[in-house]
Chains A and B, each alone.
Chain A
């Protein structure tokens, strides 16, 4: 009987990759994240869901210190990746962001060739010893980004000339070219059509074999489809965090249930 059950939801590991403890984020006087503690697992897709302004993107941006770029933003509490505090003074945010890749809502390829878009990160981080090595990294990243077959004959054409879905997969390839350990995705499919969305979702499932993927999405169905763990944020609080199946069939907190059934926005 067991082999007839739905198994793709299974989490392969329960090693903690990212551990956040008592995280508070302030934008000036605005207390945007209130006391969030969460342990995100390795080789797992974790979805952050919640209404607009609930803090899910803010929290996501704490994980690779993107909030550093906002002057009035203040982050307290601990965020550890593999047991190391990423807000420690010794940590170089640029190195951190090579390890923690990010993909944004709108595809944002550099105004360069497809090849250079992907090669840029490995080059500045000195990951390639020579041209052949770099070619290899680019090809691998594009393959893993599930876009190689579509672009292999026009690697030197501008990245901006691709379709929206292709641009987004190019951005994912760019993010994984630096061999990150964590991939953050902030609504990666909201500007894509259903086919491109399905391709990106398929890719996310593929990527979780090697990375810890954290995805912010407004589409509850997408969260249900791609993630193994789901965290529900509301008004800056982490309300409920657990197995995606449980969150979508029998959540514990009435606020979670109200949100996922479409009763509060």
Chain B
């Protein structure tokens, strides 16, 4: 297939819109990392910066949706072009949600810094956040490179995040049963873990969009599900 449209403005529109996605992705990656660091170091200033940066992410999502609507209205995209526009809309929504979760992590930093650290969980949370951030980076790289294989790899890696979440879930339950004064901290920590786990799901969804973009088909739901906390034990 030819790379370029005859109407070069069409290429510029699509490139601009995808550049905005990349910019948004960069901001979100940074928000995850910063939120995780602020949690671990109990750095409230850093957390405040994460909360503030979410506004820019939200604004970008709005901008991307407007641009996508404009391309649909003016250019009537088909085939790969249509998939680009559709995926852009979905990916920006996923990124926006991940940004919200990062913001929520940052918000809980303030509460947690007033409490005693809960044994060992900080390390796992950091590893989870690091893993999700790495998955997001790869998903965005796969998006730019139109690499369905790398995207599939990201989808497969989500199970590791799920497993870390499961482990934390059980740990928090134990702490709470041992000593009810742990409950407040553990509830917050559980929400943090759950939010990171949800981030992983949104990253997976971005990776699925990459597969759709490249192949024209959404990958089937055969992937292993790691979050078993909702099942009776």
Binding site for B on A (CB under 8 A): 220-221, 224, 248-251, 254-255, 257-258, 260-265
Query: If A249-B216, A250-B216 touch, does A262 touch B79 (CB 8 Å cutoff)?
Result: no
Say whether A262 contacts B5, CB under 8 Å.
yes
Decide if B82 is an interface residue (CB 8 Å cutoff).
yes
- Please indicate the chain A residues that have their CB under 8 angstroms from the CB of B78 in the complex: 220, 224, 248-249, 260-261
Query: If A220-B78, A249-B216 touch, does A258 touch B1 (CB 8 Å cutoff)?
Result: yes
CB distance from A9 to the nearest CB of B (A): 15
Say whether A261 contacts B79, CB under 8 Å.
yes
- Please indicate the chain A residues that have their CB under 8 angstroms from the CB of B217 in the complex: 250
Say whether B79 contacts A248, CB under 8 Å.
yes
* Complex interface bits, B57-99 against A, C-beta within 8 A gives 1, otherwise 0: 0000000000000000000111111100000000000000000
Name the one of A249, A264, A265 contacting B79, with C-beta atoms under 8 angstroms: A249
Say whether B7 contacts A254, CB under 8 Å.
no
Query: If A248-B78, A249-B216 touch, does A262 touch B1 (CB 8 Å cutoff)?
Result: no
- Please indicate the chain A residues that have their CB under 8 angstroms from the CB of B77 in the complex: 261
Query: If A249-B216, A250-B216 touch, does A263 touch B79 (CB 8 Å cutoff)?
Result: no
A182 to B1 CA separation, bound complex (whole angstroms): 35
Q: Nearest residue in A to B76 (C-beta to C-beta)?
A: A221
* Residues of A contacting B: mostly: helix
How many B residues touch A, CB cutoff 8 Å?
Answer: 17
Decide if B116 is an interface residue (CB 8 Å cutoff).
no
CB distance from B14 to the nearest CB of A (A): 10
Binding site for A on B (CB under 8 A): 1-7, 10, 76-82, 216-217
Q: A224-B78, A261-B81 are in contact. List 6 more A-B contacts (CB 8 A).
A: A258-B1, A260-B79, A261-B80, A262-B7, A263-B1, A263-B3
- Please indicate the chain A residues that have their CB under 8 angstroms from the CB of B76 in the complex: 221
Query: If A221-B76, A262-B7, A262-B10 touch, does A249 touch B82 (CB 8 Å cutoff)?
Result: yes
- Please indicate the chain A residues that have their CB under 8 angstroms from the CB of B79 in the complex: 248-251, 257, 260-261
A248 to B80 CA separation, bound complex (whole angstroms): 9
CB distance from A219 to the nearest CB of B (A): 10
Central interface residue in B5, B6, B78, B216, by most chain A CB within 10 Å: B78
- Please indicate the chain A residues that have their CB under 8 angstroms from the CB of B2 in the complex: 258, 263-264
A249 to B216 CA separation, bound complex (whole angstroms): 8
Say whether A265 contacts B216, CB under 8 Å.
no
> Would you mind naming 17 contact pairs between A and B with Cβ atoms under 8 Å apart?
A220-B78, A248-B79, A249-B78, A250-B216, A251-B79, A254-B1, A255-B1, A257-B80, A261-B5, A261-B81, A262-B7, A263-B1, A263-B2, A263-B3, A263-B5, A263-B6, A265-B6
Query: If A257-B1, A258-B1 touch, does A264 touch B82 (CB 8 Å cutoff)?
Result: no
Q: Nearest residue in B to A262 (C-beta to C-beta)?
A: B5
A144 to B80 CA separation, bound complex (whole angstroms): 38
